């Protein structure tokens, strides 16, 4: 599979020439190798890329904001001028930032995008989630610097790479907007030499050469026509043209020597993780009880059920499903069996049924003596916080009293006998509609484990009075 070599242009300081660098570098690289695919997009809130590369007046149907919502890069890419393909920009990009799943999503998307060649990413002057995604995905991060302040801001980029356990060497600094008219007395004769010396002294690597400040180049993006022109077509007589040619050769050689190392690594990690998740899901499936945990009746084979409760023990050794009616009957008879009056019983049943889809249900058994246990039943909200519940004492052996059925004792009897007797035994249940197996998918099961972990922490922290009975659901 063709994977791209990713170049991210990043700086936390505005006005250092990031977009000018990204757009012109793409064109010079394409001119250097005509057959090399070059793709460009921006996470900054402007449309410079669109204005420079758009063919005709019709914009693309998609935009860069859709890349995180399931639309593939190939569906978003449009052909542009100078042979460079680009993904149209998005004006509401920052409003969508809160929906980003993490800093590694862009890398995963690009690793199996089949774009190939070079991908150049322009970023905003903020180390936000978009910029972090772009840096996380990069083989090379080019940091334009024009003064001491922009050089100091490189520290945050380097710290981010360190947090991600990535080498600082992928950063490559490039002095930009250098005023060649300024000269100094002493060992550093101009701003370029001074900035490069400062950068090397701080442990950074730099490109050979710089991009000069040029009134001619500035006029290419600010002119009465309102158009944006590249240096290669309208600035050939300037030093900047030669400087971009020199920079493009260095970047191209990097690409030839290294190739898409980052994307290959991300793809390998992704497939390894997917294989691990498949193994874990199969292991969870293998633990499932064959029939209903309450009545042992065989469950339907079809993938969509009217409804059932998924139940799992605290040690994970017992897992399976209980039919809707079986679970509600169990709770009503074993936990609320002493409720008097048909109306009250029906109202409690209706409450349990009505709140089932947005609740968790916890059963806890604590041994009090050889022949007696306390069972606590709690209804929890979707974050795992207790809403209401009941406590009752049951006999472990012999006859039940008139209000109790043996099903609750039998349910706990399915737990492994190896559990420590003096430790409470836990069963957590949640109603699952539709596909009953979806709760065993990675993200859903991770949420389940999070709730179970919170329940354990809360139970360990509580010091309820012996024999305390929680209020009945009203």
**Residue 26 near residue 120 (C-beta atoms within 8 A):** yes
Give the pLDDT mean for 151-178: 94
Higher pLDDT, 300 or 173: 173
pLDDT at 421: 55
Higher pLDDT, 467 or 9: 9
Give the pLDDT mean for 131-137: 96
pLDDT of 98 over the 80 cut: no
Domains of the chain: 5-271 (3.40.50.300), 287-461 (no CATH)
pLDDT at 468: 45
pLDDT of 469 over the 50 cut: no
**Residue 410 near residue 287 (C-beta atoms within 8 A):** no
Rounded Cα distance, 437 and 451, in Å: 18
Give the pLDDT mean for 256-283: 92
Q: Please give the structure tokens belonging to residue 1.
A: 């599979």
Cα-based distances in Å from 144 to 252, 292, 381, 385: 18, 64, 51, 50
pLDDT of 138 over the 90 cut: yes
Beta strands 38-42 and 85-86, pairing class: parallel
pLDDT at 416: 62
pLDDT averaged over every residue in the chain: 86
pLDDT at 239: 95
Higher pLDDT, 106 or 472: 106
Encode pLDDT of 211-267 as tens digits.
Answer: 999 999 988 888 777 788 999 999 999 999 999 999 999 999 999 999 999 999 999
Give the pLDDT mean for 448-457: 90
Encode pLDDT of 22-36 as tens digits.
Answer: 999 999 999 999 999
Q: Please give the structure tokens belonging to residue 361.
A: 């249900």
Higher pLDDT, 45 or 324: 324
pTM: 0.73
Q: Which residues pair with 309 in a beta bridge?
A: 322, 431
Higher pLDDT, 175 or 1: 175
In which residue are the tokens 């991600």 written?
164
Q: What is the 3-state secondary structure (H, E, C) of 37-68?
A: CEEEEECCCCCHHHHHHCCCCCCCCCCHHHHH
pLDDT of 396 over the 80 cut: no
C-alpha count within 13 angstroms, C-beta hemisphere, residue 206: 23
pLDDT at 398: 56
Rounded Cα distance, 474 and 76, in Å: 54
Closest by CA position to 271, among listed 263, 259, 282? 263
The DSSP code sequence of 149-209 is HHHHTHHHHHHHHHHTT--GGGEEEEEEEE-TT---SSS--SHHHHHHHHHHHTT--B-SS
In which residue are the tokens 């806890």 written?
364
pLDDT of 89 over the 70 cut: yes
Rounded Cα distance, 353 and 368, in Å: 31
Residue 240, H or E segment: helix 239-258
Q: Exposure of 7 by Cβ count < 10 A (0-12 exposed, 13-18 middle, 19+ buried)?
A: buried
pLDDT of 141 over the 90 cut: yes
Rounded Cα distance, 264 and 6, in Å: 11
pLDDT of 306 over the 80 cut: no
């Amino acid at each position: 599979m063709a994977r791209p070599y990713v170049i991210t242009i990043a700086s936390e300081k505005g006005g250092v020439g990031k977009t000018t660098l990204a757009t012109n570098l793409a064109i010079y690289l394409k001119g250097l190798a005509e057959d090399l695919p070059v793709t460009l997009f921006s996470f900054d809130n402007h449309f410079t890329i669109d204005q420079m590369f758009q063919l005709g007046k019709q914009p693309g149907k998609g935009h860069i904001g859709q890349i995180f919502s399931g639309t593939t890069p190939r569906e978003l890419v449009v052909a542009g001028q100078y042979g460079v393909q680009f993904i149209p920009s998005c004006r509401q990009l920052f409003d969508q930032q809160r929906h980003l799943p993490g800093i590694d999503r862009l890398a995963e998307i690009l690793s199996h995008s089949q774009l190939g060649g070079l991908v150049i990413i322009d970023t905003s002057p903020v180390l936000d989630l978009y910029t972090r995604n772009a840096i996380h995905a990069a083989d090379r991060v080019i940091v334009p610097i024009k003064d001491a302040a922009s050089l100091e801001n490189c520290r945050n980029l380097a710290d981010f790479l360190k947090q991600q356990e990535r080498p600082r060497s992928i950063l490559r600094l490039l002095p930009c907007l250098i005023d060649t008219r300024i000269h100094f007395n002493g060992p550093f004769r101009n701003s370029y030499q001074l900035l490069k010396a400062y950068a090397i002294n701080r442990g950074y690597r730099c490109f050979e050469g710089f991009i000069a400040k040029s009134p001619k180049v500035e006029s290419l993006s600010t002119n009465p026509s309102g158009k944006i022109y590249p240096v290669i077509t309208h600035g050939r007589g300037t030093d900047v043209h030669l400087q971009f040619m020199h920079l493009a050769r260095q970047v191209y050689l990097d690409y030839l020597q290294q190739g898409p190392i980052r994307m290959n690594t991300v793809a390998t990690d992704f497939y390894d993780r997917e294989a691990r998740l498949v193994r874990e899901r199969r292991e969870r499936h293998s633990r499932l009880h064959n029939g209903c945990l309450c009545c042992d009746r065989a469950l339907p084979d079809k993938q969509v059920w009217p409804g059932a409760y998924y139940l799992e023990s605290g040690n994970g050794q017992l897992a399976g499903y209980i039919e809707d009616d079986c679970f509600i009957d169990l709770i009503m008879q074993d936990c609320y069996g002493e409720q008097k009056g048909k109306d009250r019983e029906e109202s409690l049943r209706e409450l349990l049924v009505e709140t089932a889809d947005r609740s968790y249900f916890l059963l806890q058994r604590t041994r009090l003596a050889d022949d007696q246990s306390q069972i606590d039943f709690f209804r929890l909200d979707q974050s795992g916080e207790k809403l209401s519940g009941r406590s009752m004492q049951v006999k472990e052996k012999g006859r039940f009293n008139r209000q109790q059925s043996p099903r609750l004792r039998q349910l706990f009897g399915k737990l492994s006998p190896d559990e420590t007797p003096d430790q409470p035994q836990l069963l957590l249940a949640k109603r699952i509609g539709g596909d009953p197996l979806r709760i065993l998918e990675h993200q859903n099961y991770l949420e389940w484990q999070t709730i179970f972990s919170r329940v354990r922490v809360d139970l360990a922290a509580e010091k309820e009075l012996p024999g305390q009975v929680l209020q009945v659901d009203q």
